Structure 1
């Protein structure tokens, strides 16, 4: 039987909705007996796989992350801890695989994954194209966390990046700020791109023009964060940073230049991770619900192992603004 036939394939063949196909195959109400019989007939003809892996067995999962984004105090370090804890609660085994820059650029995935000795893989954060190409061709369930593809060809769990950045920027505008810069290398990751789009949307909604000189990079071509920033001559009154770590470094940089935060410039971050409270003053930020993201990722992995032929799923996890001390009304 072909493992590649999905419910969407059957729906397309019959010119009906994928929901109808799902109800027919799962035995749920909502489709007539005659349509159910026809759907099952077409499913058999196409080679649909009705034999999912048992959901009750203990699973062996590998979690991969690029060394570029993983360190002791990184967002992904804590996120892995949450994911591992969730797998453990459900009786599954979870092992971390840190991809070296050399392995990532050459597309060399861990042997346990390529050999098929595990039940599934989770990818945390961005990975570069050679590695992504290999991952997309793996013959096992893969769930991406905090990353996605524009083509919508992967199963993923992501934070609500556009909404979060839009909320932060709107918060600054409501505090009277108008000269608002965005700090982040926009093309570096999908998350940063989305956060930039949320920032732009908020400016547009309030009639504030975007400015090229107010787009400030925060990392080099290798993805390494900087602690030195090129500020525009016309100094912004506030900064929307793409992550808390960048906001932390920016605050330190501005303070070295003699600026007071928030008296002279307001700064907001994103993630609500360790750097938000390390910072002095503590950062106003957007909190990403890591535990909910972890539960969603583990649940999605179990679901894809149980029913590998289901359509691609993209789950968006909401969050909230955390108000602290880094913003002043003007």
Structure 2
């Protein structure tokens, strides 16, 4: 049996990258029409089977797809179960479409030494979902080697080149901070290690936008880390540091940070929300982490997962789908951690 032609084989013959071949064959932006035509011609000449052709063959045989899912263990520390929940939603959405998922947790050492996922070597997946941003050097190397459809979930590449599904972190945090102003607060702090993840960065700038529109400046003493900026972990090598002068409210980049902050404030003798209000983000508060139900901005994980699987199937089959970055909105969930002040 002849060996199946891969995108990497075409790329080698054409003297271009696998990413360029992928864009050309899937009609994505970033490739000139002249080069696209030459790549498609060479692919046909070499006997490359397009994703749509493979899909039709599998449909006739009633065979389902298997999607690989990769997440870094940096996002799966003691309390960071948000991405476990995200994966569960992806797996559920896949099953509902007659497909299956295989999860690989990328170890920190492998990410640092650029060891590629086993899912790629074993070639058991027809599509790949990456949950949470990987280190840039690793991501660049991975994209050079991937010859199957790929979608980023909960982050996007800096140039918007690849397909991604994200929550509207910037607008969501803008709305959440506006809510605190509406509740009478003016001195508002932000909790989150700002440049550790894309979502924290986006949420920080949503917070800044709200402050600017209310004529307030950012007080750097009120911008608190919620994890070790070097490792990205909140369970190892991290200690909370509160400012000498406290704001009347904090808005946090996620509910785990909010719950941990509530505990720290209570240890220091503050009451939530009587003395200090705390707002979270995600609407995923691990049970038993704190004794206050945190008001939060809900990330619609179910919708994000559904759109990811829908786009992946259409991407593989060659059907039309929304290319680029898909943004999913959320909503405020009112609970017990914010009080109105005069």
Mark yes or no: TM-score above 0.5: yes
Q: Does 1:225 align with 2:241?
A: no
In 2, Cα distance between equivalents of 1:11 and 1:149: 18
Gaps spanning 5+ residues in structure 2: where?
1-9, 11-20, 44-48
Distance in 2 between residues matched to 1:172 and 1:212, nearest whole Å:
18
Is it true that 1:294 corresponds to 2:305 in the alignment? yes
Q: Do the aligned partners of 1:7 and 1:311 also contact (CA within 8 Å) in 2?
A: no
**How far apart, CA to CA, are the structure 1 residues paired with 2:89 and 2:288?**
19
TM-score (normalizing by structure 2)? 0.81
- Cα separation, 2, equivalents of 1:329 and 1:277: 26
Which segment drifts farther, 137-146 or 273-282? 273-282
Q: Distance in 2 between matches of 1:43 and 1:149?
A: 23
- Say if 2:132 is the partner of 1:125: yes
Deviations 1:80-131 (A, max 9, x none): 1111111111111211101111111112122231353320111111211232
* Contact preservation (8 Å) 1:10, 1:43: no
Alignment correspondent of 1:316: 327
Deviation at 1:260? 0.2
Structure 2 counterparts to residues 45-64 of structure 1, below 5 A: 47=40, 51=50, 52=52, 53-54=54-55, 56=59, 57-64=63-70
Counterparts of 1:153-172 in structure 2, within 5 Å, are 153-172=161-180
52-61 vs 3-12, greater mean Cα deviation: 3-12
Q: Secondary structure at the match of 1:150?
A: coil
Matches within 5 A, 1:249-264: 249-264=260-275
Q: Is the 8 A contact 1:162 1:198 kept in 2?
A: yes
The residue that corresponds to 1:269 in the other structure is 280
3-state SS in 1 of match to 2:286: helix
- Rate the CA distance shift 1:205–1:155 in 2: closer, same or farther, 3 A: same
Tell me which residue corresponds to 1:30.
none
The answer to whether the Cα contact below 8 Å between 1:163 and 1:198 also exists between their aligned partners in 2 is yes
Cα deviation per residue 1:41-89 (whole Å; 9 max; x = unaligned)?
x975562779423164411111111111125861011111111111111
Say if 1:44 and 1:170 are closer, same or farther in 2 by CA, change over 3 A.
same
- The residue correspondences of 1:131-150 to structure 2 (distance < 5 A) are 131-137=138-144, 138-150=146-158
1:33 maps to what in 2? none
Unaligned runs of 5+ in 1: 15-41
- 8 Å contact 1:8–1:311 — kept in the other structure? no
Q: 1:88 aligns with which of 91, 95, 101?
A: 95
Secondary structure, counterpart of 2:87 in structure 1: helix
Counterpart of 1:236 (choices 235, 247, 268) is: 247
Give per-residue Cα distances to partners, 1:266-320, cap 9 Å, x unaligned: 0001000133885322000000111101101111111221239988421111100
- Residues 166 and 326, structure 2, Cα contact 8 Å, conserved in 1: yes
RMSD (CA atoms): 2.6
Kindly state the Cα deviation for residue 228 of structure 1 after the two structures are TM-superposed.
3.5
Spell out the pairing of 1:28-43 with structure 2 (5 A cutoff).
none
1:176 aligns with 2:184: yes
Contact 1:245–1:276, Cα closer than 8 Å, also in 2:
no
TM-score (normalizing by structure 1): 0.84
Seen in structure 2, the aligned counterparts of structure 1 residues 276 and 322 have a Cα distance that, compared at 3 Å, is farther
2:200 maps to which residue? 192
